[in-house]
Amino acid sequence: MWILTILHECLSGLKPVIMSDRNQGLLAGMPRVFGVENHTYCVRHLIENLMTKAGRLGIRCNASKDLIKEMFNRVAYATIAAEYDCALDEMRRFKRELALWVEKNEPQRWAQSKFKKERWGKLNNNPMESWNNWMRKLRAMSIPWLLLGHLQKV
């Protein structure tokens, strides 16, 4: 809550769309500070979670996993409801449990046809993940050194 509140204050009340990996702290804090309508989920992280579900269902073949990823991307990147429904039906025919997983994981928070706020066409946070990896060594530093390290990188 603290960092979200500080961010909100720094933005002078603006409420941008914030993408996350569904971290529990963000799931709890985002609705309170920015509103649930401004919180979207990273599709790449959702695919990772879906692949875990597929593994639990006994799907281990790489070709099958690749097919599931393609089907999921069609669901996620569908631009209209009919296209979304068609892609989800395809997944349902392949493996009903995977389609149920998609439906239970709040597609209104990440699917292009369902999330109504502008995300500048981005459905994943890959650039931020790259930044985090680049900054990994700074994480153990004190706050002043951490900030200085960020400024130097920028």
Round to whole Å and give the CA distance between 65 and 72: 10
Structure tokens at 40: 């979207």
Q: What is the pLDDT of residues 95-117, one digit of tens each?
A: 999 999 999 999 999 999 999 88
Measured in whole angstroms, the distance separating CA 67 from the mean position of its chain's CA atoms is 20
Where do the DSSP E strands lie in the chain? Answer: 18-20, 39-41
pLDDT in tens, the chain (154 residues): 888 899 899 988 788 888 888 888 888 999 999 998 999 898 889 999 999 999 999 999 999 999 999 999 999 999 999 999 999 999 999 999 999 999 999 999 999 999 988 766 556 666 666 666 777 777 787 888 878 887 887 7
- Report the predicted TM-score, pTM, of the whole model to 2 decimal places: 0.77
Break the chain into its structural domains and give their ranges. 43-109
